[in-house]
Structure 1
Amino acid sequence: MTPPTTTPHGLRRRAVLGSALLGGLAASVPAWAQAAAAAPIRLVVPFTPGTGIDLIARTVGPKLAERLGRPVMVDNKPGASGNIGTETVVRAAPDGATLLVSVSTLVMNRSLYPSLPFDPLRDLVPVARTSWGQLVLVTHPKTGFKTAADLVAHAHKHPGRLNYSSPGVGTPHHLSMELFKNTAGVFLTHIPYRGTGPALADLVGGQVDAMFLPIHVALGQIKAGRLVALGLGSDQRHPLLPDLPTLAEAKAGNVNVDMWYGVFAPKGTPEAVVNTLNTELKTILASDDVRRAFEPQGMDPSHSTPQEFAQLVQRDAERWARLIQAQNIKAE
């Protein structure tokens, strides 16, 4: 056996190899981030263009490309309540080149569609939360309700007389009202529609009594006097409606139905890659122009570590699973 070399060249070679072993993980990140232009990062949006999730991807994407020196493209893959696009990412190579931009419906679907060929908790890695969105409980002026407590009192006195609309079974609007009903101990009849547009139209037209709506969708109708805001389904008030109390403040139940938005990677994506993406997203989300882009959609930029985001996703999956089981809700 040839003995180890002790020449200066050999010493330098061993020093280089030692440094490579110690810093190999860190060194792999720049190599990934600066990958060839032929391999862009793909941000998969499991919904149609023009949605809030699509806005996140199209706002963050160019900034991520600039910071990583690597092309970033948005790929809309709608269908099956977001499950088609999600499965695309689950099946992708865990190399950081395919990412999912999604919303809290991701974990709602886990219980609504128990036969899914994937599990978002098991098959995806949370990278970072990007924002929060709030839902507001609204009613038609003809009901005469001024607060959420008024609605609860009426529903207790006249069970089944009130109804509410949603864009469909299993949507955040639907599950939020079911959580509200469950917490307040009241019953309202669910009238599902095919999309937010017709559900909102019948609410504004007075055919429906109440609904949970994203704050940016409800705001114009509230200001025009066509709808009355009863309470915000959050732990804190929102700057767009600073005088509107939360449902807890309105004595209508401690109900938080905030929607989170965030980025996920396929299971097995290297931790170093996840951490690099998380760090870059933190810087991007702190910029004023991102805030200005998000605000019209009622979203507030909000960053988290991968670990914090994973904990949030787990908690939300568990609480929506309990509600879906308790209310025997089944996807259409």
Structure 2
Amino acid sequence: MNRRECIAAVVGMATAAAWAQEFPARELRIVVPLAPGGGTDTITRQITEKLARQLGKPVIVENKGGAGTTIGMAAAAAAAPDGHTVVVNGDTVAIFEQIFANLKFDVFKDFAPVAYFASAPIVLAAHPGFAPKNVAELVALAKKEPGKVPYATPGVGTPHDLAGLLMMQKGGIRLNEIQYKGNGPALADLLAGHVSIGMFTISSVLPHIRSGKLKALAVVGDKRTPVAPEFPSMGESGLAGVDVSSRYVILAPAATPKPVLARWNSAIREITKQPDTAESFLKLGYETMVCTLEESAALLRAERDRWKPVLLAANVKPQ
């Protein structure tokens, strides 16, 4: 390192340290790139009050939905990189370049992961009139009648869609996949019996399963979930490796100083380690996650690398 580079590095470190000392200087904004009332919005609002106490400034949720969350993500990428604006989304943002054409941002160049903080188990649910009672019977039927079992998914690239692709690949089966624009329409058709099975976040189907309007074939994971421990897992049902959940990650504009990212991360980890946070999350159908900055970045990269071959095998193209 020459003298000029050394001076620039020292100035950069001093500036970052100064920003960290002054941060936060005003209210904080978490962009939720979806409409109010959905799962991402609900779980984010569960931590805003505690974040405000941890960080010493009000924390405002700004809903900015549209275009598969890409409008809100683009707005967050363009925000000042001073830590006062972050965005929350599912970690399927890692595969956005593989499912969306003409993106106005690059997830891995324009964002820095701040922290994973929650995950929602996914359930393979079935209409009660569907004959198979478990995953093994479903696989047997699908092999006997390839491409005939009507299966609902709430959209390309969602964790639910990815869980279905992985299940089909691991099970060596083909289903009649019907794409819906969101969980709501897909769930409505499953309840009405227009489709036989579907992948859903556990919180959206748990009341219907417990009332007998639907039945759970398996939770999508190698192990059972504490949210509904009575449901068998995919792993114990013969499909090890079909392990997918809706995981939520907070990201900041890429140039945000690392000390500021660390302040956010520390506050979020402190909140998600609290027993009352875990309890409130479980009541809503979520599990807490506690991740460092480095762990969050590694998880996001792993998500990208994990799904690339799955999407290629399924011939999924950017749209």
TM-score by length of 2: 0.90
**SS at 1:108 equivalent:** helix
C-alpha separation between the residues in 1 aligned to 2:159 and 2:42? 18
Among candidates 264, 267, 279, match of residue 266 of structure 2: 279
Give the one of 200, 225, 247 matched to 2:212: 225
Residue number in structure 2 paired with 1:3:
none
Give the gaps of 5 or more residues in structure 1. Answer: 1-19
- Show the counterpart of 2:282: 295
Runs ≥4 residues deviating over 6 A: 20-24
> What does 1:95-174 correspond to in 2, within 5 Å?
95-174=82-161
Kept in 2, the 8 Å contact 1:140–1:209? The answer is: yes
Q: Do the aligned partners of 1:184 and 1:253 also contact (CA within 8 Å) in 2?
A: no
TM-score, scaled relative to structure 1: 0.87
Residue matched to 1:31: 22
How many Å separate the matches in 2 of 1:48 and 1:61?
A: 17
Q: 1:24 deviation in Å?
A: 7.6
**1:73-121 residue CA offsets vs partner (Å, 9 max, x unmatched):** 1111001111111111111111101101111231232310142121111
Change (3 A) 1:293 1:112: same
- Going from structure 1 to structure 2, the CA distance change for 1:325 and 1:52 (only over 3 Å counts) comes to same
- Seen in structure 2, the aligned counterparts of structure 1 residues 95 and 226 have a Cα distance that, compared at 3 Å, is same
Q: Which residue of 1 aligns with 2:172?
A: 185
When residues 174 and 25 of structure 1 are mapped into structure 2, their CA distance, relative to the original with a 3 A threshold, is: closer
C-alpha offsets along residues 52-89 of structure 1, whole Å, 9 cap, x if unaligned? 22123322222222222222211110011111111111
Determine the structure 2 residue equivalent to 1:207. Answer: 194
Could you say if the C-alpha distance between residues 26 and 331 of structure 1 is closer, same or farther in structure 2, counting changes exceeding 3 Å? closer
Q: Distance in 1 between matches of 2:103 and 2:282?
A: 34
Contact 2:127 2:191 (8 Å CA) reproduced: yes
Cα gap change, 1:272 to 1:254, in 2 (>3 Å): same
CA–CA distance in 2 between the matches of 1:23 and 1:92?
Answer: 22
SS of 1:170's equivalent? coil
Mapped contact 1:25–1:272 kept (Cα < 8 A): yes
Moved more, 21-30 or 184-193: 21-30
> CA offsets, 1:212-259, max 9 Å, x none?
111111211111122221111123211232132211110134201122
Q: Deviations over 1:133-155 (max 9, x none)?
A: 11011112222212111101111
Q: How many residues align?
A: 309
Q: CA separation of 1:22/1:147 partners in 2, compared to 1, >3 Å: closer, same or farther?
A: closer
Shift of 1:125: 0.3
TM alignment of 1:18-97, pairs within 5 A: 26=17, 28-33=19-24, 35=25, 39-97=26-84
Match of 1:6 in 2: none
1 CA distance for matches of 2:238 and 2:222?
A: 13
Deviation by residue 1:2-33 (Cα, 9 ceiling, x = unmatched): xxxxxxxxxxxxxxxxxx99988556423213
Structure 2 residue 183 is matched with structure 1 residue 196: yes
- Aligned partners of 1:133, 1:303: CA distance in 2, in Å? 14
Q: Distance in 2 between matches of 1:142 and 1:122?
A: 48
| Structure 2 match to 1:8 | none
Tell me if the contact between 1:110 and 1:317 (Cα under 8 Å) persists in the aligned partners: no
Across the aligned residues of Structure 1 and Structure 2, the Cα RMSD in angstroms comes to: 2.1
Match runs of 1:238-277 below 5 Å: 238-277=225-264
Of 215, 227, 235 in structure 1, the residue corresponding to residue 222 of structure 2 is: 235
Aligned match for 1:307, one of 284, 290, 294: 294
Please give the per-residue CA displacement for 1:176-203, whole angstroms capped at 9, x wherever unaligned.
2112111111000111223322211221
Q: Which amino acid aligns with 1:258?
A: S
In terms of mean alpha carbon deviation, does 110-119 or 301-310 score higher?
A: 110-119
Taking only the aligned residue pairs, the percentage that are identical comes to 37
The alignment partner of 2:23 has SS state of helix
1:293 CA drift (Å): 3.4
3-state SS, counterpart of residue 44 of structure 1: strand
